[in-house]
A and B are shown apart, each in its own frame.
Chain A
Amino acid sequence: MDLKDKLLSSFLAFEDKVNVNDPVHEIRSEAIKNFESKGFPTKKEEAWKYTSLNGLQKVDFSVFPKESGALEYKDIKKYFLHEIDTYKIVFIDGVYSSYLSETTHDGVDVCLMSSALNKPEYKQIIELYFNKVASKDESLTTLNTAFSKEGAYVYIPKSKAPRKPIQILHLATGNEASLMLQPRNLIIAEQNAEVQIIERHQSLTENEVFTNSVTEIFAGKDAHVDYYKIQNDNAEASLIDNTYISQKDNSIVRVHTFSFGGKLIRNNLNYYQNGEHIDSTLKGVTILGEKQHVDHYTLVHHAQPNCESHQDYKGIFGGRSTGVFNGKIIVDKIAQKTNAFQQNNNILISDKAEVNTKPQLEIFADDVRCSHGCTIGQLDEEALFYLQSRGIPKKEASGLLMYAFANNVLESVRIPELKTRINKIIANKLGVRIGFDL
């Protein structure tokens, strides 16, 4: 049985476990119909030209999470940003771990999607926001919607901000030979609210893991959301991240995606601007080797005047790794004075590595500033010689140059300890000894 059939038949079993009379279940039922008719995307579709899901569909994934043995904090501490105090929402093989988590209801809600879906006090918010920005016809998103049950739920009411950043950590223990996970996150920052979130997926063994995640983010007027995605998983872990963002006037939403490891990663990052003077920022650092594959598929839809978007993705590709950047910007006719900036720069450090980069601009307004630039190149030989001539060996010199290349994307990271951590991961990846402060 292929994965699609397996998922369809699993849906029946899934229905035994949830309240089918809930309005949310109507949404799920609609979603599974869409997935049933569409199936997994294929390379024939323009949007999936460079990323094949064929291999994943042949794997016999377990699709229902089962409780696994408890993990000791000390063994997984390194996957947290443990240098600072944070709220934590931790899942082990898709099941919430209260032992490793630290949630709150103190003025803000940092808790579980399953509680939010089941408890009456969240009903109103769920009705207002759940599945409101996520696509209703993109097949992987609807697949996730159909099985949506667990994930992180973050609700920040008007003019509030949680006392500390929130970490969402998904751990896979390898208790199944191969496991499919479908976390569903809902992040709401009401008017003038503020929140910082760090998300990470980590497999602890070489057993295969396939995560198809959906995150919906709502930023009210003047709200500020920072979302950091750390993708540094091991060689048998694949991730499809579908993130949908809806922004109102004067809001700022910044998503940083750090892709350093994993087998296949696809980031579908979609911004919808529903107001004026909005700032949408998308930044990414991708450093790959071996046979890793990362596909960034971004969309920024400018639907109102006077808004901005800033995209800056940097990639370094070694081994036989492959990268894709597809950045779509839509500027509606009424979205005058839009300022849309997009930059994708790549360095290939191996002849066997490959990058495909494609900006897609659909601009219907006439008074806009749109700039975009894509480059694919090698390291600058003159710069290398310059560093070498000062006594820095070639390997370190190339590391330093690549480090500097990737590093400027981090300027907008607002959690200093996170910045340091990412810098260290980058330095490690590139084999640079950071003999200096960051």
Chain B
Amino acid sequence: MLRIKDLHASVEDKKILKGINLEVNAGEVHAIMGPNGSGKSTLAEVIAGHEEYEVKKGSIELDGEDLEDMAPEERAHSGIFLSFQYPVEIPGVSVTNFMKTAINESRKARGLEDMPANEMLKLIREKSELLDIDRKFLSRSLNEGFSGGEKKRNEIFQMAMLEPKLAILDETDSGLDIDALRIVANGVNKLRSEDRAIVVITHYQRLLDYIVPDYVHVLHDGKIVKSGGKELAVELEAKGYDWIKQETVA
């Protein structure tokens, strides 16, 4: 589904990604771990099409299609979803109105009519219940004044609404309390299926107990320096990153 080849990306001539290779197939869950500043969020944002980052070399393909010339909204229309590490506050646009706009714009891109209002309401009700989101919440301005955990839960609510093919979750677990973590993980697992894929960026094993990955990758200094199965995450939790850093130098 997702194929990244020798990806190099910079911001203002600062090299951040230095040759990433990654292949994610439909049905799989991949976890990306790695120290602060290693480039995890950058990778996620480059996949989502953030224009601030300049791709210097390499390619990203989704189902065989090169993403290079695609705007972020076009990537979203082809099924990419990024749950932001730091969701942006949008004063004046309510969660509901935002969701309606997003869904209808995606439908428009696919040549569909607007979703009928009653269907939309039903969908919103269903997904907000799934994530245990209070109705009052939905009429508030998007992310404005939301607590850290509320923002993350709201990201997953959006994901559940949009049902993407490829979901990239950037530290969705940070800021969540124990109950919220379970609810959010459950929301993510609901989306797991044969024809979808999930990339989870996290620092902690805890989330991976709920969303069990097929592969774990370690990103360090803009490169994937180690890959393995789910036991790699357990090992990292116990030993930290130093041993890997040393291994790479060696």
Cα distance, A338 to B182, chains bound together (Å): 51
Q: How many A-B residue pairs have CB under 8 A?
A: 84
Whether B100 and A436, one on each chain, are in contact in the complex, defined by CB atoms closer than 8 angstroms, is yes
Which stretch of B18-26, B89-97, B172-180, B205-213 is in the interface?
B89-97
Within the complex, what minimum Cβ distance (angstroms) separates B141 from chain A? 8
Collect the chain B residues with CB atoms within 8 Å of residue A380's CB: 88
Collect the chain B residues with CB atoms within 8 Å of residue A381's CB: 52
Within the complex, what minimum Cβ distance (angstroms) separates B168 from chain A? 10
Whether B93 and A400, one on each chain, are in contact in the complex, defined by CB atoms closer than 8 angstroms, is yes
* Interface size in chain A (residues, C-beta < 8 A): 25
Cα distance, A396 to B109, chains bound together (Å): 13
Collect the chain A residues with CB atoms within 8 Å of residue B84's CB: 386, 389
Which stretch of A184-192, A349-357, A401-409 is in the interface?
A401-409
Given A381-B52, A436-B97, also A392-B102 (CB < 8 A):
yes
Tell me whether A107 is interfacial, beta carbon within 8 Å. no
Collect the chain B residues with CB atoms within 8 Å of residue A23's CB: none
Tell me whether A22 is interfacial, beta carbon within 8 Å. no
Whether B49 and A389, one on each chain, are in contact in the complex, defined by CB atoms closer than 8 angstroms, is yes
Cα distance, A126 to B82, chains bound together (Å): 66
Query: Which residue in chain A gives the minimum CB-CB distance to B102?
Result: A390
Interface residues of B in 107-127 (CB under 8 A from A): 109, 114
> Which of B71, B93, B106 interacts with A404 by CB under 8 Å?
B93
Cα distance, A390 to B158, chains bound together (Å): 8
Interface string of A383-405 (1 = CB under 8 A from B): 10111111111101100110111
Collect the chain B residues with CB atoms within 8 Å of residue A387's CB: 90, 98, 102
Query: Which residue in chain A gives the minimum CB-CB distance to B84?
Result: A386
Looking at chain B's contact residues, is the secondary structure mostly helix, strand, loop, or mixed? helix
Whether B109 and A388, one on each chain, are in contact in the complex, defined by CB atoms closer than 8 angstroms, is no
Cα distance, A396 to B104, chains bound together (Å): 12
Cα distance, A107 to B141, chains bound together (Å): 44
Interface string of A156-198 (1 = CB under 8 A from B): 0000000000000000000000000000000000000000000
Given A404-B90, A435-B114, also A391-B76 (CB < 8 A):
yes
Interface string of A357-390 (1 = CB under 8 A from B): 0000000000000000000000011110111111
Whether B162 and A390, one on each chain, are in contact in the complex, defined by CB atoms closer than 8 angstroms, is yes
Given A387-B90, A401-B90, A404-B90, also A392-B105 (CB < 8 A):
yes
Further contacts, 11 of them, CB under 8 A, given A386-B84, A390-B76, A390-B102: A383-B90, A385-B51, A386-B88, A388-B49, A389-B75, A393-B73, A394-B73, A400-B101, A404-B90, A435-B101, A436-B97
Interface of B toward A, CB cutoff 8 Å:
45, 48-52, 71-73, 75-77, 81-82, 84, 87-93, 96-98, 100-106, 109, 114, 141, 158, 162
